[in-house]
A and B are shown apart, each in its own frame.
Chain A
Amino acid sequence: EDQVTQSPEALRLQEGESSSLNCSYTVSGLRGLFWYRQDPGKGPEFLFTLYSAGEEKEKERLKATLTKKESFLHITAPKPEDSATYLCAVQALNSGNTPLVFGKGTRLSVIA
């Protein structure tokens, strides 16, 4: 069974204090690993897709990396507007359009 575990559950940072969020996964074969940002009461907003170990992607203060067992979302010099829940999901390699399997998310609070 495909599984995703995210840690920590919650993270509180001072503005400018860099940190990393972890996503550990088990999947029969990986089609893609996805990071989403979710604000309270809203739907997930797409951030990154990673397809193979060693791949890295960046967007503003965020950088996502991937190994064969886990992914990290690095946040450099965060700002209060980066406060949100960050969700990690995997899509298995299979015929057709397989559904995403999500972790429970990391709730990030950035304090000014």
Chain B
Amino acid sequence: DAGVTQSPTHLIKTRGQQVTLRCSPKSGHDTVSWYQQALGQGPQFIFQYYEEEERQRGNFPDRFSGHQFPNYSSELNVNALLLGDSALYLCASSPRWGGYGYTFGSGTRLTVV
């Protein structure tokens, strides 16, 4: 049973550039959430998608946007990258009604230089 898969695993971008991260949820899960984890910190909630719409959003600027596709996979886009955007970006999937926690992918390590 495939878990949550994320791509790419690592990437390096320059300040001001744009980046797209991808996520395929665990089989049977229809909800995808994105988290940002800075070094030495716990994951911080960015936003959540189901039925191809953003349902909830954390305290992140509009530079962070996303999309969910009919097959439940998702993308996270970050525009106008800042040095402070360097972090591990985690995708987590769950059934829509939750209560069972989330299954996390291995993450994408983004470095902004």
Contact = CB atoms under 8 A, between A and B. Distances in A.
Interface of A: 4, 31-32, 34, 36, 41-46, 49, 87, 89, 91, 96-105
Closest 9 CB pairs of A and B: A102-B42, A97-B98, A43-B104, A99-B45, A43-B106, A34-B101, A44-B104, A104-B42, A43-B107
Contacts of B21: none
A32 B58 contact: no
Contacts of B43: 44, 87, 100, 102
Q: Chain B interface: which size bin?
A: 20 to 34
B73 interface: no
Q: Is the interface of A mostly helix, strand, loop or mixed?
A: strand
B106 A31 contact: no
B77 interface: no
Contact of B42 (A41, A96, A97, A105): A105
Interface stretch (B12-20, B61-69, B89-97): B89-97
Interface in B72-113: 88, 90, 92, 94-107, 109
A98 B57 CA distance: 10
Given A42-B106, A43-B106, A98-B56, A31 B41 contact: no
B24 interface: no
Most buried by A among B4, B90, B102: B102
Given A46-B103, A91-B99, A96-B55, 19 more contacts: A31-B99, A41-B109, A42-B107, A43-B105, A43-B107, A87-B42, A89-B101, A91-B98, A96-B56, A97-B31, A97-B99, A98-B56, A98-B98, A99-B33, A99-B58, A100-B45, A100-B92, A100-B101, A104-B40
